[in-house]
Structure 1
Amino acid sequence: VSFSKGVKRGYIKQEAFHNPYLDYLEEKIDYDSIKKANLKICFDPMFGAGTSTLQMALVSARCDLVTIHSERDPLFGGKSPAPSEESLSRLIQNMKENNFNVGIAVDGDADRIALVDENGRYIPANEVILLAYYYLKKEKNMNGGVVRNIATTHNLDLLCELFGEKLYEVPVGFKHIAKSMIENDLLIGGESSGGVTFRDHIPEKDGIYTAMIIIEMLAKTNKKLSEIFEEIKTQLGKYYYYSEDNLELDPELEIKAERFVETPPEEISGKKITKIDRKDGLKLYFEDNSWLLLRFSGTEPLLRITGEAFDPGEANENINEVKNILRSE
């Protein structure tokens, strides 16, 4: 049945959710505090579907808004519509050259988010989740733990420990996060690729709702984004630094990678492996709780390697060591 026939016969019902969603945001977010804060925001919707919705929400909250890449472009300006540091070069430059409180970027369908702070520092989803959870716990006194996928930052574990809350780890795939959110009545869930969800909201990624939580945080705390982030690091006492990379696999390298995953070494870069987790791929833990994750892509001939360590360069060194081991075998 064609779409037009489906509508005519009553099989398909058309609804417009734009205005009800904007009304919903005004019920859930403290617009009064945002209106008083006089925030200046630079927004990059990456030529995607989130342009008008977040624009209207921010204008309704009396934010001084500058929008870039707002025109509709099915080719997304020739770039991947994912809010990565490489894709957001213009937003980062705007933040460095102008006096904005925050830069916000959402991907093509506005379910993933990244930020840029007032100094032009890119803030990936790992840190967005951390900022949102810290705000909800510390400033709004909300209770509840966190769910993250296996590839997402363990700084959330440290923050949960600080607040006396529980952290749940699930395989990659937002369906696992949504399931854990519901089953365990958690406050927030997220993944390193940019998806975040909240209790009493839809059990799915929503970059626009997450953006409004961050805007509310800036308004109610009257602090700069960089100040809040440094406050979190001070509270934690120690901090994981995140790194990720992909290894392209030819048939020979794929066999080597499969062998490595099946039988990993006892140490990497001179650091002893103390724990192995096979929940999703191969996750290796070291004595100081730094970690490495190896997962095969389900769509491309790639080995995705992710890791964290307490030294800024160590996670990247561990990833490179794995790549060198595989190439030299």
Structure 2
Amino acid sequence: MAKKYFGTDGIRGKVGEHPITADFFLKLGWAVGQVFANERHDFILIGKDTRISGYMFESALEAGLTAAGVDTHLLGPMPTPGIAYLTRTFRAKAGIVISASHNPYYDNGVKFFSVHGTKLPDEIEQEIERYIDTPMTTVPSSSLGKAKRVVDAAGRYIEFCKGTIPTRLDFDGLKVVVDCANGATYHVAPHVFREIGAEVITIGADPNGLNINDECGATKPQKLADAVLANHADLGVALDGDGDRLIMVDHKGEIVDGDELIYIIAKSRLRDKLLIGPVIGTLMTNLGMELALKQLGVNLLRANVGDRYVMELLVENKGILGGENSGHIICLDRTTTGDGIIAALQIMVEMQDSGKTLHELKSGMTKFPQVLLNIKTQAKPNLDGDEIQKAVKDIEKKLGDTGRVLLRASGTEPLIRVMVEGQNEDKVIEYANQLAEQVAKAHGCLN
């Protein structure tokens, strides 16, 4: 059964537009309470990022849960993976994250974690939706839920992050610039890296409710690159607004994306005989990463775009490592979900163990030029037409084994995404434009 409100990563949208309204969050909190409330002392965690609407939605969710007779533990601003960890370690019935991740401040959303620190299964999300569409009732006054603040949430998560790397290592003398995207890691990430011995220079750590992800963080890493060069740092760490994405910068100011970081971690785990199962990427994972892993004897499997699908393939294939080029990196041998801080720590461990710079570590993989074009459509996209398929096959033939073509419809916008990848950048650009023109022509639209 199709879900009405939940997408692949929870519920997300522009604040004030359905369903991202205060009254919807009130009803959502009540619905969640109906699904998870079994015993009087059950409780649910609520955390959020730093966008201004989080205050409103936190209160609305709390009120809905209270009306359902469920206690609430409020974490305040916390990274999404930190909420996953605390849900598991507190043995809460569920964890709720109020965040729109890497989106601008005027968006917001909500996603959930189970008692195991993993995303909720489809059947639970569908059950929540069923209650959203039923009349809301309030339990008797004697059965109302209570709320309390968890004052040491950040400290608990900081210690957990530090515990994912060996205590034998000393990072004294390593200079790191950390960009917190004015988001949920602003009071966590600098402490983690400082407390393992690194010299830390922090940027993007002054949230005001309106500047989350604003020209900073994992989606806009140029400011970090500039800061690394200006401070003669050894590396830079860029997180997104809720802390589940990681992009890094090497000492030369070059940006290191999720594919390159996953490759480095995979090679490290393989050397230490700790890599289990295949590495999981997505349809957008660079072909250069696939070929570099193949040279190591490591298989890459591709999931649909989205960390939820990466996780499904990891579990299905009993793997421990996967992610996306956007910086979602899942290390299941360390935690239960994508975590930017923990992924960065794994890279830093490999730098120490190998004695190599981040620039040297990433050199084992050569990224292929990749061009992605978006074609706006006015009707439901049809990618199976004869002309489009002929154009795809013609380009695939020209690229041979050293290139890829991918056409896919966006799941959230009226767009067709055209991706061409290959060794020759000029040819990749030429083929991508040719295919985009053919797609636009077939749909009667302009690029």
Task: Answer yes or no: same fold by TM over 0.5.
Answer: yes
Distance, in Å, in 1 between the alignment partners of 2:66 and 2:383 is: 53
2:322–2:331 CA contact under 8 A, matched in 1: yes
Structure 1, gaps ≥5 residues long: 234-238, 275-284
Say yes or no: does 1:62 pair with 2:204. Answer: no
Alpha-carbon shift at residue 45 of structure 1 (Å): 0.8
CA gap of 1:316–1:201, structure 2 versus 1, over 3 A, is farther
| Aligned partner of 1:264 among 363, 380, 388 | 388
Matched, 1:309 2:422: yes
TM-score by length of 2: 0.61
Out of 303, 328, 332, the residue aligned to residue 195 of structure 1 is: 328
1:12 correspondence with 2:71: yes
Partners of 1:43 and 1:103 within 8 A in 2: yes
Q: Which of the residues 341, 366, 376 maps onto 1:249?
A: 376
Query: Larger Rg: 1 or 2?
Result: 2
Matches within 5 A, 1:202-213: 202-213=335-346
What residue is the counterpart of 1:273 in the other structure?
A: 396
Matches within 5 A, 1:131-170: 131-138=264-271, 140-144=272-276, 145-170=278-303
Which consecutive unaligned segments of at least 5 residues does structure 2 have?
Answer: 1-29, 31-59, 74-149, 443-447
2:412 to 299, 303, 315: 299
Aligned length: 305
Match of 1:229 among 362, 366, 382: 362
Q: Cα distance 1:225–1:317, how it changes in 2: closer, same or farther (>3 A)?
A: farther
Q: CA distance change for structure 1 residues 116 and 13 in 2, over 3 Å: closer, same or farther?
A: same
Displacement after TM superposition at 1:247 (Å): 2.2
| Partner amino acid, structure 1, of 2:292 | L
Give the CA deviation at 1:166: 2.6
Over 3 Å counting, the alpha-carbon distance change for 1:292 and 1:75 in structure 2 is farther
Secondary structure of residue in 2 paired with 1:115: strand
* Aligned residue type for 1:215: M
2:169 aligns to what SS in structure 1?
helix
Alpha-carbon separation, structure 1, partners of 2:395 and 2:179: 43
Deviation of 1:9 (Å): 8.4
Query: 1:103·1:115 contact (CA, 8 Å) conserved in 2?
Result: yes
User: Counterpart of 1:74?
Assistant: 209
Q: Bigger shift: 63-72 or 199-208?
A: 199-208
Residue 48 of structure 1 contacts residue 70 of structure 1 at CA under 8 Å; is this kept in 2? yes
Quote the residue 1:121 is aligned against.
254
Task: Mark the CA change 1:227 to 1:326 in structure 2 (over 3 Å): closer, same or farther.
Answer: same
Q: Percent identity at matched positions?
A: 20
SS at match of 1:200: coil
Query: Partners in 1 of 2:426 and 2:217 — Cα distance?
Result: 25
Paired AA for residue 56 in structure 1: H
Cα displacement (A) at 1:115: 0.9
Q: Distance in 2 between matches of 1:115 and 1:262?
A: 42
**Per-residue Cα deviation, 1:29-79 (whole angstroms, up to 9, x for no partner):** 12432435x210011111000122211110111111101111113222673
Change in Cα spacing, 1:290 to 1:167, as seen in structure 2 (3 Å) is same
Give the whole-Å Cα distance in 2 for the aligned partners of 1:182 and 1:29: 23
Q: Is the 8 A contact 2:216 2:223 kept in 1?
A: no
Contact kept in structure 2, 1:111 and 1:206, CA below 8 Å = yes
- Off by >4 Å, runs of 4+ in structure 1: 4-10, 259-263
Q: Decide whether aligned partners of structure 1 residues 166 and 158 sit closer, same or farther in structure 2, where only a CA change above 3 A counts.
A: same
SS in 2 for 1:266: helix
Query: Secondary structure of 1:287's match?
Result: helix
Deviation at 1:260, TM superposition (A): 6.0
Could you list the per-position Cα deviations for residues 116-160 of structure 1 after superposition, in whole angstroms to 9, with x for gaps in the alignment? 11111112222222222222223x332222011112123332233
Answer whether contact 1:34 1:216 (CA < 8 A) is retained: no
TM-score, normalising length from structure 1? 0.81
